[in-house]
């Protein structure tokens, strides 16, 4: 245990380390004689949480608060004591995390309230949620020895924490949490999936290792400066979700094992793509430029799928070291205590949206309704005829598109030209569609529209209009 602590302390300045050390001593005291379900000393848990937060590169206040995060719940200490010992910032973090704990899962309603609180905490200070995510990650890691309701913990991970991590751009964390939770929520499906894919994954991994020298040779011959080349297997839960979409056709899972090329700068990303395409023919429609068009959670990378060595279809992911770090740590990679209160809000438009909802004083249920559409859905990018990009949730309709541009356009929308073809307002849009809204002078919003629109913006506007008309 001292070893883990020493490793954490080494990453901070002497005064910061002093605070962390003090928090450790305090937590050890608070949890004296307490055991986890695994029969380990309780302090192993807050220590593991602190270590995860250190891996996220969080500041010393967050790490100290991570050590103290269960001290109020599990002991007789009062928040005043923590404030006196550690100052207002750390005690704010500890208190906020403790509050999130206290609303326990009690059916849909308790869950919604808890979620609402968590989102409000995110908007206030992102560090609270990062502590909570680190806490959950360690609970999932040790779920096999947990004596309470394992399925509940696992289900919350799938329904709340993993999507939250994803929206914060923490892709790796999302994948890890889902894979821990998967066997507890869907035991049968998990077993079947493993039987179904394990040979294929092993084979693809061997293949990736086998062709690495050939790829490296080509990169070197073409003077591409790359930092490293690695093979990455897809996380099981996301693979399962994807397989459901493709009727369990493994042949079409080109990214079962992908090759990742890390290069020093953006120009090298495109150069690498060019070189790969020179030697191996790309599959049409599988080239994704998330550098020019990052995903809403900030994810950046180039993806391409090519007919590679031995005629096998292989996905490549090309990115800089910084993009790679962002893909793993997301918001935590950007978070810096030197910046002002909420510097990342600009980068994350949905965070901005959340604070708007907060200002509208929505009750928990309306908040949840909005969150379900705007927060948990995957996103697509579509275009106006002039080439402006509009970001929408998956399964959005031309009507959502019209309302995203202007509410008057939404009100008058009767159909839309999607890639030149006339489509009805209930049509499902796809990534990359070019859309031209067709309006009718006498068109007006109807109650019916609420049944198929997919964005909270359209929903709010339609409701507003119906009230005026009604
Ligand atoms: Mn905990």
Phi, psi dihedral angles at 73 (to 5 degrees): -70, -45
| Distance of alpha carbon 57 from alpha carbon 437, whole angstroms | 46
Specify whether the CB–CB gap between 396 and 455 falls below 8 A. yes
DSSP secondary structure code for residue 429 in this structure: P
CA of 70 to the centre of ligand 1 (A): 5
CA of 448 to the centre of ligand 1 (A): 46
- Both structure tokens of 57: 């590169």
State the helix-helix crossing angle for 60-68 and 79-102, rounded to 10 degrees: 80
Task: Report helix, strand or coil for 258.
Answer: strand
Q: Would you state the pLDDT for residue 342?
A: 44
**Statement: residue 408 has pLDDT above 60:** yes
Straight-line distance from the first to the last Cα atom of the chain, in angstroms, rounded to the nearest whole number: 66
Global pTM value = 0.75
Closest by CA to 167, choosing from 123, 124, 209, 136, is 123
CA of 143 to the centre of ligand 1 (A): 12
| Distance of alpha carbon 246 from alpha carbon 253, whole angstroms | 9
CA of 297 to the centre of ligand 1 (A): 27
**Statement: residue 340 has pLDDT above 50:** no
Closest by CA to 99, choosing from 121, 123, 124, 127, is 121
Domain ranges of the chain: 2-182, 187-328, 377-469
CA of 28 to the centre of ligand 1 (A): 14
| Distance of alpha carbon 380 from alpha carbon 403, whole angstroms | 16
What are the tens digits of pLDDT across the range 5-53? Answer: 999 999 999 999 999 999 999 999 999 999 999 999 999 999 999 999 9
Closest by CA to 260, choosing from 223, 218, 302, 293, is 302
What is the average per-residue pLDDT within 229-254? 88
CA of 253 to the centre of ligand 1 (A): 37
Q: Would you state the pLDDT for residue 383?
A: 86
Give 98: exposed, middle or buried? Use CB within 10 Å, 0-12, 13-18, 19+. Answer: middle
CA of 6 to the centre of ligand 1 (A): 21
CA of 157 to the centre of ligand 1 (A): 14
- CATH code of domain 2-182: 1.10.3210.10
The domain defined by 187-328 carries CATH number 3.30.450.20 = no
CA of 92 to the centre of ligand 1 (A): 16
| Distance of alpha carbon 2 from alpha carbon 345, whole angstroms | 37
| Distance of alpha carbon 412 from alpha carbon 405, whole angstroms | 12
Percent of the chain with pLDDT over 90: 57
Buried b (16+ CB within 10 A) or exposed e, 158-196: bebbbbbbbbbbbbebbbbbbbbbbbbbbeeebeebeeb
**Statement: residue 339 has pLDDT above 50:** no
CA of 189 to the centre of ligand 1 (A): 29
Closest by CA to 257, choosing from 302, 217, 305, is 305
CA of 34 to the centre of ligand 1 (A): 13
DSSP secondary structure code for residue 283 in this structure: P
Q: Between β-strands 288-289 and 302-307, what pairing exists: parallel, antiparallel or unpaired?
A: antiparallel
Q: Would you state the pLDDT for residue 107?
A: 55
- In CATH terms, 377-469 corresponds, of 3.30.360.10, 2.60.40.1180, 3.40.109.10, 3.10.20.30, to 3.10.20.30
CA of 237 to the centre of ligand 1 (A): 24
Percent of the chain with pLDDT over 70: 85
Q: Would you state the pLDDT for residue 161?
A: 86
How many angstroms from the chain centroid is the CA of residue 189?
23
């Amino acid at each position: 245990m001292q070893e883990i602590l020493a490793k954490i302390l080494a990453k901070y300045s002497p005064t910061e380390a002093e605070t962390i050390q003090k928090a450790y001593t305090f937590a050890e005291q608070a949890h004296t004689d307490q055991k986890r379900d695994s029969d380990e000393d309780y302090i192993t848990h807050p220590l593991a949480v602190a270590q995860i937060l250190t891996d996220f590169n969080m500041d010393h206040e967050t790490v100290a608060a991570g050590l103290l995060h269960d001290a109020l719940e599990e002991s007789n200490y009062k928040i005043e004591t923590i404030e006196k010992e550690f100052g207002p910032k750390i005690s704010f973090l500890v208190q906020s995390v403790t509050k999130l704990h206290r609303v326990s899962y009690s059916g849909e309603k308790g869950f919604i309230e808890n979620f609402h609180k968590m989102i409000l905490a995110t908007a206030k200070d992102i560090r609270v949620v990062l502590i909570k995510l680190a806490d959950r990650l360690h609970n999932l890691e040790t779920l096999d020895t947990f004596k309470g309701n394992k399925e509940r913990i696992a289900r919350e991970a799938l329904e709340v924490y993993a999507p939250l991590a994803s929206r914060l751009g923490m892709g790796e964390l999302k994948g890890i949490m889902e894979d821990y939770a998967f066997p507890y929520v869907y035991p049968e499906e998990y077993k079947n999936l493993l039987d179904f894919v394990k040979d294929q994954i092993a084979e693809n991994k061997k293949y990736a290792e086998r062709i690495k020298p050939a790829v490296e040779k080509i990169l070197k011959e073409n003077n591409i400066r790359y930092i490293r080349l690695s093979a990455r297997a897809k996380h099981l839960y996301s693979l399962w979700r994807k397989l459901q979409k493709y009727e369990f056709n493994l042949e079409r899972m080109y990214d079962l094992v992908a090759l990742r090329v890390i290069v020093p700068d953006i120009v090298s990303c495109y150069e690498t793509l060019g070189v790969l395409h020179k030697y191996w023919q790309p599959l049409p429609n599988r080239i994704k430029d998330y550098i020019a068009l990052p995903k809403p959670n900030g994810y950046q990378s180039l993806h391409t799928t090519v007919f590679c060595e031995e005629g096998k279809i292989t996905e490549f992911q090309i990115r800089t070291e910084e993009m790679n770090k962002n893909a793993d740590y997301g918001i935590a990679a950007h978070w810096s205590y030197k910046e002002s209160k909420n510097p990342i809000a600009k980068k994350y438009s949905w965070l901005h949206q959340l604070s708007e909802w907060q200002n509208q004083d929505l009750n928990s249920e309306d908040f949840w309704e909005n969150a379900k559409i705007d927060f948990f859905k995957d996103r697509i990018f579509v275009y106006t005829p002039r080439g402006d990009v509009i970001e929408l949730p998956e399964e959005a309709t031309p009507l959502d598109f019209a309302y995203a541009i202007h509410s008057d356009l939404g009100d008058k929308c009767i159909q839309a030209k999607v890639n030149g073809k006339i489509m009805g307002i209930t049509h499902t849009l796809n990534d990359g569609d070019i859309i031209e809204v067709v309006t009718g002078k006498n068109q007006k919003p109807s109650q019916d529209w609420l049944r198929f629109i997919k964005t909270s913006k359209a929903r709010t506007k339609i409701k507003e209009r119906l009230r005026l008309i009604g």
